[in-house]
Amino acid sequence: HPKTIAGRLISSAMFFLTLVIIASYTANLASQLTISKSQPIISGIDDIKNGKVPSNRIGLLVGSASLEYYLTELSGGNPNYYPLYSRDQIYQSLLDDKIDVGFIDTGNAEYMTNDVYCNLTIAGSGFNVGIFAIPMRKGWIYGNDLDVALLLLRESGDLNNLYAKWFQYKNCPDNSVSTAAIDSRALIGLFMVFGIVCMLSIFIFAWGKLHMTKKLTGRIYRIIDSLNKKCHSAREDAKKISHDSEIRELEAVNIGNF
């Protein structure tokens, strides 16, 4: 255990520094684990092709173009999928953990995952892009007007605005995971504070040593002065004794002469 003020100060600073570093590491580890768990199990259609998801956990709408694509491009005609009979059943089966993935058209999936089923997400980008058309009666008198109106909507950008409004605007709350780890700037500031505390401890230690040196020097000076005084007193006493002895000898000589 440190006994000096400087030692206690450094020990306290090192304790808090270690505590913060351990807390930062724990927060980083927890964030990485949480993020890894929140990521989709697949990143796109390639993972389906590579068999990352069991075929009986893939939901497909019976009679849809997605089913035809799956049988033609992925399973080689093997009907080893999980059959579903409505779009709502696809979403509900995902929520009930009956299937892991489902095939559905992009527009419907974007709208539903952004506005209705907030616990679901779209994995990867679209595939098997098709062309949609608007059926009408032959010889309809408003056919040309409809073509012109659709062309004007496309050129003016209104179609893109409608698409963004109904399919890309997200009403669901953002559940993205944010990390609580300490960034490098905060750690640099922490080490700077620790360095300042160390410098303060060194200053306190040096000041204490200097103060002790001054006290020791003063004590030595006092001892030397005391010794000088004693030596001077001893010399004076010796001179006095010698003088008294000479006087007694002279008195003895004078008495002998008489």
Query: Per the structure, how many domains does the chain have?
Result: 1
202 Cβ contact list (under 8 Å, min separation 6): 6
The b-or-e profile of 213-226 (16+ CB within 10 A means b, else e) is: eeeeeeeeeeeeee
Average pLDDT value for residue range 35-62: 79
Residue 30 covered by a domain: no
Q: Bin 60: left if φ > 0, else alpha if -120 < ψ < 50, else beta.
A: beta
Residue 149 covered by a domain: yes
Instruction: Look over the chain and give the mean of its residue pLDDT values, rounded to a whole number.
Output: 78
What pLDDT sits at residue 84?
93
- Dihedral sign for Cα atoms in the order 40, 44, 46, 51: positive
pLDDT tens per residue, range 201-223: 788 777 777 777 777 677 777 77
In the chain, % of residues over pLDDT 70: 78
Instruction: Find the radius of gyration of the CA atoms of the chain.
Output: 48
- The pLDDT of residue 175 is above 70: no
Residue 55 covered by a domain: yes
> Three-state DSSP class for 58?
strand
Residue 59 covered by a domain: yes
Specify whether the CB–CB gap between 61 and 86 falls below 8 A: yes
Residue 54 covered by a domain: yes
- The pLDDT of residue 104 is above 80: yes
Angle in degrees, CA 89, 94, 99, rounded to 5: 100
52 Cβ contact list (under 8 Å, min separation 6): 41, 42
Beta bridge partners, 101, equal 58
What pLDDT sits at residue 111?
84
The CATH number assigned to the domain holding 151 equals: 3.40.190.10
What pLDDT sits at residue 96?
92
| C-alpha dist (Å) from residue 25 to 12, 34, 182, 190, 227 | 20, 14, 9, 15, 65
Residue 224 covered by a domain: no
Residue 26 covered by a domain: no
| C-alpha dist (Å) from residue 36 to 95, 122, 130, 146, 189 | 20, 17, 33, 49, 30
- The pLDDT of residue 90 is above 90: yes
What pLDDT sits at residue 244?
66
- The pLDDT of residue 35 is above 60: no
Q: Which domain holds residue 160?
A: 45-128+138-168
Rounded Cα distance between 119 and 113, Å, is 8
Rounded Cα distance between 239 and 10, Å, is 61
Choice among 22-36, 76-90, 140-154, 177-191 with the minimum mean pLDDT: 177-191
pTM for the predicted model, two decimal places: 0.50
Q: Quick one: tokens of 52? A: 């990352």
110 Cβ contact list (under 8 Å, min separation 6): 122, 167, 168
Residue 174 covered by a domain: no
Q: Quick one: tokens of 238? A: 């010796």
- The pLDDT of residue 181 is above 70: no
Q: Where are the beta strands (DSSP E) in the chain?
A: 58-61, 82-84, 101-102
